[in-house]
Structure 1
Amino acid sequence: MDARRATRRARGERLLQLGIAAGDVILVGAATFLAARGNIRVPVLPVTNDINTIATSLGLWVVVAWMLANVVRGTYARAHVGVGTIEYTRVLGASGFTAGFLGISSYLTKFELSRAFFVLLFVVGVPLLLGWRWSARRIVQRLRERGHLLTKVLLSGSQERVDEVATVLRREKWLGFQVIGALVPASGFVDTTPAGVPVIGFTHETAQNALASEADLVLFAEGAFPAPVDFRRIAWDLEGHNVQMAVVPSLSDISSGRMAMRPVGGLPLVHVEPPQSLAASRGLKRTFDLLGASIALLLASPVMIVFALLTKLQDGGPVLFRQIRVGRDGQLFECLKFRSMVVDAEARLSSVSHLNKNAGGVLFKAADDPRITRIGAVMRRFSIDELPQLINVINGEMSLVGPRPALPSEVRRYETDVQRRLHVRPGLTGLWQVSGRSDLSWEDTVRLDLYYVDNWSIVQDLTILARTVRAVFASRGAY
């Protein structure tokens, strides 16, 4: 591998890590200063000592302790910067460790640490750190999408598995993986794989090809090596050459929360928890839906009133569009939306069938549907037309987060695997909403919905809701 190129890449990664750490130092210092100088009295906490004097004497040590906790917890690890939730989890863990350390140290040394300072320090500091990490992540992802901070990836395995992995890496450009070539078994050598990945060598010459192609990472998929000992030899050959290695298991669409690595007798067994479709239909999610929908309906009511009046004044037609959709376990319900099309839109469907972007698919998609009204176009752009579905959520017919609510005509065309989407309540938003909306193909919509059904968690619901706000204001794929 070209030593100068490797040095430049390593320097760029170090600068990124140092930049994030510098931001943490500034924000921890700011939180300490605000907690010490804010002079905010917390009514439920007694005043122990002069908060300014004590906090000022502790300020520097608080910053040092918090930063050391971040380092020990691995919040600056290269593998977790810009992707996944582990970075956020470790930031929270480091903050909790710092809080525990300060509390226990004050107790053991009988130091009268101001309780108001202690509470304000973390009430202010933790959101600042998480917000900074989120902002830094957006910056890193934008840089990767524009061709910076890329990791050159060499894929090794059978042509079919190489293409599957390459498709994911090319689709998710924000991950920063640049596929530079593939290694396939000698028996199946071709110039390129069916998906267009150039084949540059054989799997039994992985180390030589990785060094010759200047790859940063070798991804081993199914078919990359016939026996475990072959992988071990490849690792020996790449030792000291600054080439990372990763194995893609023969699993797909399974969240990390359902997998756990448990070595048994030297075998790295991956234990997989059962699908979570039953948990996605029980009390915790229903309680979350009721509280969330009630609050959202209260906050959104002024906007809903305005657009209800505009819709009525536009052509005198009904404000709401009521349509039968298929809910959990195939039960039919009346889905509510603000009417965004002309009154006779259903009757005019055949006249616009030639505009369907998804010809031959289950869904009807038209970017320039002439049936959409002017007010309707605005509502669709920002998903305002879907706000009445909050009533469906409160009624228990829908969920805040879930698969897209399907029409009966669509369900009749479902294949066996797709029927699994009906195991949970359909959602007001979902992975399909935050991943491109109408820009997605039918296959991608199904894949995302099935992933959600099998890997449900309350944390995932909160993440999707947060991403929905961004997707709505970006208006990507909204028509």
Structure 2
Amino acid sequence: MGRRTTVRGRKTGVVSRCTRNDRQPSILKQLRLPTNQSMTTLLLSHTATAQRTPELQLDRDVAVHLGKRLLMQRLATCLPLLVVDAAVIAGLIATAIFLCGAPAAISASPLGIVTAASLGWVLVLVSYQLYPAFGLNPALELKRFTSASTIATSLLAIAIFGFTPFEFRSVLMLGMLWLGSVVLLPSARYLARRQLGRSAWWGIRCIVVGDSAIEYFNSQSPRQLAQLGCRVIGYVRCPNLYWEEHEADDEGLEYLGPTSELHDICRGVDAPSLLVADDQSEFSEEAMGQIGLHIPRIERLEFSAAGYSQDRCPGLAPASHIENGLLQPGNMLLKRALDVFAVVAMFPVLLPLLAVIAASIKLTSAGPVFYRHRRIGRYGREIEVWKFRTMVQNADKVLEVYLAENPQLRHEWERDHKLKRDPRVTRVGVFLRKTSLDELPQLINVLVGDMSLVGPRPIVTAEIEKYAEAYPLYIAVQPGLTGLWQVSGRNNTTYERRIQLDRRYVSTWSVWLDCYILTRTIKTVAFCEGAY
């Protein structure tokens, strides 16, 4: 029998079994996954990333697969708890009505009232982020249950006493509801977690990175972690020249492979969540952002061997959190539905304006009304972006002559791909650019799915080099008609600031952020902020 060795990090006592002939035991071989994909997005310095930008491509299959898995795992984690809580609430309300008698306000249809009250109560629980409650500190979970029950009982009291005279039995019923919910909801959740923790399908599947993270999870009971909805599959490590071989029989987390294979490992074990130790200096914020192209949920945490943090399970304290919501199918569907609805709703209002602009262009300068330009869209594919024509027909020649006569402006052009005084722009074009009305035809791109209402502005091939390591973040989402850059100064800011804003949008996306940007866009367009 071949000699078995282990790989041990020098800083910790964490041990992972592997054979001598396989210093980086590859789970890819066991899963029969392809290994020809270069994981060049990981752990690269700015210079190295800039040099290898053409290789930094988003693997759509990995991203979509893990996004779907996160959605399914969240639903599987959430729904059983939701059913248990709803059953407890409905049972409490029915019992309180049976023991105390139904108040006059609900005596006509008690079944309908029980159903409506239970639904409203559950919505209050949802607002307190009690689902799916992944890795939630039990003490904080108890606090949220108590606060939510108090709010729900108060709303029910307003509904009862707002329509009927004061009755003592109503007060007694509400008191029973509040006390019963404060005691029974956490108790039922605890029993449900104990039972669900035994099922392999329940919880979010995670992979950990970092010495302190590995040490922490090796010291925890797998059953306790499973009851918190945390399914730790194993760990990955950055290759280290100082690893040493030791013979040991220690058991711990399974070593899944090096970080260079992280994306394929996550796909192979269906783990859409990554827990990164705060002491893992190799995982810079930039590297985490690039990993997030494929892994929809990443948490950077501080790990300690004991103690309860404020809002996480024992020993875990949040340091930073990255979650690319746009990799999750539900969010993608919601964003697409909002885009289509908004465009269809705006078309009847904008149609007369579009007709007036088209007529003005046609009457004041020779050439077509519309202009199409090739840009880079999601997943790096080329798209044709529609605009109202704002330039003369021989625009390229005019620009070439102008820059030759004004060499001092060439730097401005190479830096921003824009000129404050562009000789190619027509008289109508100046107005359209100032008001951003020249971009209205891009609603067609939104309607056909090439763009979104909100997102990073579409770039040309020459700008890929400027985005450098941020380019994979750009192609992770649909380009937008408006975006965070447009409402944060636009052309009055630097190109580096534009890239930073695009990064922030991708890593912090939410429906409310889109609504905020759309609202701010109205003000930006009305006052022609940063447009030329």
Q: TM-score scaled to structure 2, two decimals?
A: 0.42
Larger Rg: 2
| Larger RCO, structure (CA 8 Å, separation 6 or more) | 2
Q: TM-score scaled to structure 1, two decimals?
A: 0.46
